[in-house]
Amino acid sequence: MSTRIAAVDVGNDSLKAIFGKMDSEVNIPNVVAIDVADRPVIGIEELDNQNPFEGIHVRLHSPALMNNNVIYRVGHLATRADNSTELDPGSNKSEEDQTIVMLLTSIALDAVRDENRHLFKRANNVIEATYTLGTGLPLREVKEGRDVAYRSSLLGSVHQVEFLVTPKYQGLKVNIKFDEVKVYPEGFAAFINLVMDNDLNIINKELIDKRIIIQDIGGLSTDIAVIANRRVDDDKAQGFNIGVSESLDSIRDEIRTKHGVELDSRRDIVEIITKKNDRNHIMVKGSRTSVHDIVDRLLLELAKKQYRHLRNVWQRNSQTEICYFVGGGSIVLKDYLKTLNNNLDGYNIDFFEDEKESIWMMANAYYKLIADFARKNQKPTKPSDDQKAASSK
């Protein structure tokens, strides 16, 4: 049977994944909640008319999980649960069950699509799916060697995702195998995405031989990659357990304390502070209310810490020509970092004005790398009898 490409970025705010020949994308909040098998649904007869991404309800069997055979709400459905969990600051992404739950669920969501019926064997509501996976971990975890155990936990086993009370997919099971798993350091992936297209042809020639810093600000961590001579300098690359999640949690707590408003997840906070209209405003008892004071104070505090990291790295790499801020956290902190830089050192820094490009940068990079690997390792197919006959004429 066919193997299908999967490029999955399990970001701390949300999962972004690209499949096949870029014909399918998955983007869901990185939130899970342990649940029961028969979750109550109002209007159960209308379930299959709903969007499956809004009601992901699964049971997972996998040797990669510490807690096996557990039922979860995933993504948007989990944000509405009282017991929802998001990754904690200081945690290792490679060692969290939540990372595996998100990754396997996203792949199962691709495998069950009607458009992929011809790719995978189906029998008795069980789908046998094989994928070539490209994913990544923070630089700090790769430097500590955690990628080896993470990769081996995924390879060589069968992982099952069973859809329970999920729109359209209820009752389907997906058995997932990986014929190859590549785990890339996130800083290196960002560089690949900056300078190369999907076929790994160089598209930014002006960047290829420059000395560059890439500061990738995520939810729980920040990776700073130093690029020289077209490669990441392993000795100078650094990872820090500091991202935007802790600040988002603090903003949510202060809004709850001051205004009595309960927001479901970090994603809700991000939307409030990045939306085009009515930025930094919420509704309190039906009235439009500013939370600008809370947001500004806490994000400026975080931006100062991020800027301090940039300054320290730049001082040790004085011939750096430009720093690119990437990742979802850079979008949240962009205005604060620009203001600090203008008032302080005046480094040559840049951001991606296209927010989707910045948020999807890691998934795009993993796709480029794993697609190139798949091309180079594609096994030649044996010619059919008809092809042999045609070639002999």
Question: What is the four-CA torsion angle of 69, 73, 79, 84, rounded to 10 degrees?
Answer: -30
Confidence of residue 42 (pLDDT cuts 50, 70, 90): low
Confidence of residue 379 (pLDDT cuts 50, 70, 90): low
pLDDT confidence band for 393 (50 / 70 / 90): very low
Q: Which two tokens stand for residue 72?
A: 């979860």
pLDDT surpassing 90 at residue 278:
no
pLDDT at 122: 93
Q: Which of 239-243, 269-273, 345-349, 360-364 has the highest average model confidence (pLDDT)?
A: 345-349
CA distances from 245 to 26, 91, 108, 252, 268 (A): 22, 12, 27, 10, 12
d(CA 26, CA 8): 9
Q: What is the pLDDT of residue 235?
A: 76
Q: How far apart are CA 325 and CA 74, in angstroms?
A: 29
Residue 196 has pLDDT above 70, yes or no: yes
The whole-model pTM stands at 0.84
Q: Is pLDDT above 80 for 187?
A: no
Q: Where does residue 322 rank: exposed (0-12), middle (13-18), buried (19+ CB within 10 A)?
A: middle
Whole-number percent of the chain with pLDDT over 90: 56
**Tens digit of each residue's pLDDT (9 = 90 or more) over 65-80:** 999 999 999 999 998 8
Higher pLDDT, 370 or 231: 370
pLDDT, greater one: 243 or 379: 243
How many other CB atoms sit within 10 Å of the CB of residue 210?
A: 15
The answer to whether residue 292 scores a pLDDT higher than 90 is yes
Give the 3-state secondary structure of residue 253.
helix
Those residues whose C-beta lies under 8 Å from the C-beta of residue 231, and which sit 6 or more positions away, are: none
Phi-psi region of 129 (alpha: psi -120 to 50; beta: other; left: phi over 0): beta
Residues 138, 12 contacting (CB under 8 angstroms): no
Q: What is the pLDDT of residues 15-33, one digit of tens each?
A: 999 999 999 999 999 999 9
pLDDT range class, residue 211, cuts 50, 70, 90 = confident
Cα 93 to Cα 248: distance, rounded to the nearest angstrom = 19
E-assigned strand segments in 205-312: 212-217, 222-228, 231-232, 238-240, 281-284, 287-290
Mean pLDDT of the chain: 87
Which two structure tokens, joined as six digits, stand for 209? 């031989």
Read off the pLDDT band of 44 (50, 70, 90): low
Looking at residue 260, its pLDDT comes to 92
Range with the lowest mean pLDDT among 192-201, 238-247, 326-335?
A: 192-201
Q: What is the CATH T-level fold of the domain 3-185+364-376, as seen in this structure?
A: Nucleotidyltransferase; domain 5 (3.30.420)
State yes or no: pLDDT of 121 exceeds 50.
yes
370 vs 263: CA distance, rounded Å: 37
What percentage of residues in the chain have a pLDDT greater than 70? 94
Q: Quick one: pLDDT at residue 384?
A: 47
pLDDT in tens, 337-364: 999 999 999 999 998 767 777 788 889 9
Average pLDDT of the residues in 84-99: 86
Ranges 208-217, 350-359, 366-375: which has the least confidence: 350-359
- Count of alpha carbons within 13 angstroms of residue 248, beta-carbon side: 29
Predicted pLDDT of residue 225: 84
**Who wins on pLDDT, 112 or 355?**
112
- Helices 328-343 and 266-274, packing angle to 10 deg: 50
pLDDT digits (tens, 9 = 90+) for 132-172: 999 999 888 888 899 999 999 999 899 999 999 999 999 99
